[in-house]
Chains A and B, each alone.
Chain A
Amino acid sequence: MKDTYAPYRRLTGTLGLLSPWLVIFALFWLYPLAHSAYLSLTNYNPLSGTTELIGFKHYLALFIDPEFLQALKNTCIFVIGTVPVTTAIALILALGVNRKLPFRGLFRAGYFVPTLTATVVVALVFMHLYAQGGYLHTLARMIGIAQPDRGLLLTEGTALGAVMVMDIWVSVGYYMLLFLAALQQVPRELYDEAELSGASSWQKFRHITLPLIKPITLYVILINTIKSFQIFTEIFVMTQGGPVGATSTVVYFVYREGFEKFRMGYASAAAYVLFFVILLVSLIQARLLGFFRSTGDETA
């Protein structure tokens, strides 16, 4: 009755269950990643058909390429300019809708609509609003930051800022949801006790809310940073990196080198440089995340 082959059959079955992932992982993740690492060390060009190993030449060349450096600088400005603002507004909105208010369900759902929509659609709508004579252009003219005869995206001084404002507008709803989920887990009793001892709203926020939402705050900063470093679609749709490179970003640079100039080796090297930058920044932030979590536990 006892089947000696049963464990093997079970193992084969398990392999069958895992096979979709094993195939997809090997073919569409591992192989492409290795291939582009290799390509970054060659001068591969699909048009001329050349593939010669040239070592780390591309990586060195990138750091004296003014276009790449400008793209890197724009990307850093984008990340540093949007992430803290998005985080702050998302937290403020979450604190607001966490109160007992009429129609708060409507607020929560409404704030989320920009996140729900395709990036391409949002980018097109804002192109229209930013164009000369568009509503946001008119508004910017009233504040005195726009030229009367030129849309915000066509002006060197305002193009990147305009894309950043749009990104903040799109993302706050999503991060608000994450903050809200964390705020709803803060035990009510903590606030009750604090009120009994006469704490002000600010003191309650500073000493109860803030320490308890520290982990989620750092998570929000981490994922938003990773995402923001990769901005591409908005740039492709709205500005094509212009005017004169003012909104070019690293991923846009990778796209242009790879798919317009067909310098796929060089583009792969640029892609890996950004990958390392993201990895490094994430590791630093993740360490902070772990660090803050342990101190958060002590105070709680």
Chain B
Amino acid sequence: MSEREGSPVKTALVWIGLAVVLLLMILPFVWMFVVGLSPNSSWTPSLADWSPANWTLRNFADLFSALPFSAYFANSMIAAVVVTIANIVFCFLVGYAFARRSFPFKKTTFFSVLAVLMVPPYVLIIPLFILINNLGWYDTYLALIVPFAVNPLGIVLVRQYLRSLPRDVEQAAEIDGAGPLRIIFRIVMPLCRPALAVLAIQIFWLNWNSFLFPFILTDQNVRTLPVALAMFRGYQAVDWPHLFAAASLATVPLVVLFLFFQKQIISGLTAGAVKG
């Protein structure tokens, strides 16, 4: 519940304060788009950059014609989409097993899921790099996909959601003689759709933005957008208009995602936090 409104003067002051913060949050991104649209190749900011009359889409076009950004974009998209689909299926199956089946060492197995959540990802960079090399997966899609195919948070999310659902429908189907696979995929999975939507958006978002592991585990072949952006500035004298055009390109899919799925994104982020 919201607090009572208070005096109009106070409300106006609060509103102005919040609006100023909003500007501070948004302006750097506006600036990023402005530089991306600017024909100016020197980086020093000038008022002329802000004039829409000077804007051009040439930098964006260059990304696809002169620079290999269509490949980076495709790599990012393929990896993020495949990892997302894998997580929907696998987290659902594993979460279902934890919520609905009984089996020996169930507590220990579930503890492995929770324990992994405590491991800081960076601890894995060296051993994972060695392992991926030994498997012959370095700089392939396998390196970007397989280690991230089952997210432990996704398992917890599905399990929690299923535990809150009554079992009546499943039991009725079982009495009717439906086999386990039919029950799992045809009955339970559709019921889990809201949880799986939250999961899918969360996973896509994480993978689209992911830097550390793609950076460690890949090179030229399957380089993703964030890695390409970081390298773009590393190896060349910084060409800000092109760099910021590319950065804008990396940001647009997320803005679209957020506009359509704001509710799912926020519920995914706050899930677990409030109950605790």
Residues of A within 8 A of B (CB): 10-11, 13-15, 17-18, 20-22, 24-25, 27-33, 35-36, 39, 46, 93, 95-102, 104, 106-107, 109-114, 116-122, 124-129, 131, 133-135, 169, 173-174, 177-178, 181-182, 184-188, 191, 195, 201, 215-216, 219, 226, 229-230, 232-233, 236-237, 251, 254-255, 258-259, 264, 267-268, 271-272, 274-275, 278-279, 282
A99 touches B25 (CB 8 A): no
CB distance from B148 to the nearest CB of A (A): 8
Q: Is B127 positioned at the interface, with any CB of A under 8 Å from its CB?
A: yes
- CB contact under 8 A between A121 and B269, given known A29-B116, A129-B28, A232-B212: no
Q: Is B11 positioned at the interface, with any CB of A under 8 Å from its CB?
A: yes
Task: Apart from A20-B149, A178-B273, A181-B273, list 18 A-B contacts with CB within 8 A.
Answer: A24-B149, A29-B116, A36-B124, A93-B18, A110-B26, A116-B255, A118-B254, A120-B226, A120-B229, A121-B247, A122-B28, A125-B28, A125-B244, A127-B233, A128-B35, A177-B266, A177-B269, A233-B212
Nearest-neighbor residue (CB-CB) of A121 within chain B: B247
Q: Is B237 positioned at the interface, with any CB of A under 8 Å from its CB?
A: no
Which of B6, B31, B32, B266 makes the CB contact (< 8 A) with A201? B6
Nearest-neighbor residue (CB-CB) of B270 within chain A: A181
B247 touches A113 (CB 8 A): no
A21 touches B127 (CB 8 A): no
Q: Is B155 positioned at the interface, with any CB of A under 8 Å from its CB?
A: yes
Residues of B within 8 A of A114 (CB): 25, 28
Which of A24, A35, A226 makes the CB contact (< 8 A) with B131? A35
Residues of A within 8 A of B226 (CB): 118-121
In Å, the complex CA distance between A97 and B15 comes to 9
Q: What are 23 A-B pairs with beta-carbon distances under 8 A?
A: A11-B103, A17-B94, A17-B96, A18-B94, A25-B112, A30-B112, A31-B131, A33-B119, A33-B123, A36-B124, A93-B18, A96-B17, A98-B3, A99-B5, A101-B15, A107-B21, A114-B28, A122-B28, A177-B266, A181-B274, A237-B233, A255-B125, A258-B126
Residues of B within 8 A of A188 (CB): 1-2
Secondary structure dominating the interface of B? helix
In Å, the complex CA distance between A226 and B43 comes to 36
B270 touches A125 (CB 8 A): no
CB distance from B242 to the nearest CB of A (A): 12
In Å, the complex CA distance between A24 and B208 comes to 21
Residues of B within 8 A of A111 (CB): 21-22, 25
A101 touches B229 (CB 8 A): no
Q: Is B90 positioned at the interface, with any CB of A under 8 Å from its CB?
A: yes
Q: Is B73 positioned at the interface, with any CB of A under 8 Å from its CB?
A: no
